[in-house]
Structure 1
């Protein structure tokens, strides 16, 4: 089964979770209003609504970046990533 990467990012505004699908111009995504970091359960539910699930044994990894590449004086962007696969029945 094909493994893809799901990412979640925020620069202090809304959180966006999306599945990276190479060759597609629009990636499946879910947005949350600005709030605390979405919980693991919220992320699983969002992925399920898109037709995906976390690969068994995979864990979210977190990195931080600058809003403007290479400029650490700009706001921090938090980015999380995890390996996912299509759920039985395929993506929605």
Structure 2
């Protein structure tokens, strides 16, 4: 890496309209967030790592996926649950810089 340090970001995965998507959150930028769309099945760990690689990122060593759930309609405990997974990732040089 020629002495430069890769920048760290948060990658998230969520489901929209029945299909999973993985995206890397780039704060304080006008850049489009890198994104990969999967099918309807929950992507495996390998699927997610491969998708991050295609986008130019990799999990930070020791990082693990964490899962959170949110109510689709705030203040309505009967509304559907939205699942979001997150992991810390680092860019390869030149990506997300």
TM-score range, shorter chain: 0.7 to 0.9
CA distance in 2, matches of 1:77, 1:12: 11
User: 1:8 aligns to what?
Assistant: 13
CA distance in 2, matches of 1:73, 1:53: 37
User: 1:32 aligns to what?
Assistant: 38
Residues matched between the structures, number: 90
TM-score, normalising length from structure 1? Answer: 0.86
- The more displaced of 75-84 and 19-28 is 19-28
Unaligned runs of 5+ in 2: 1-5
Unaligned runs of 5+ in 1: none
Q: How much is the aligned-residue C-alpha RMSD, in angstroms?
A: 1.8
User: 1:51 aligns to what?
Assistant: 56
Structure 2 residue matching 1:58: 3-state secondary structure: coil
Larger radius of gyration: 2
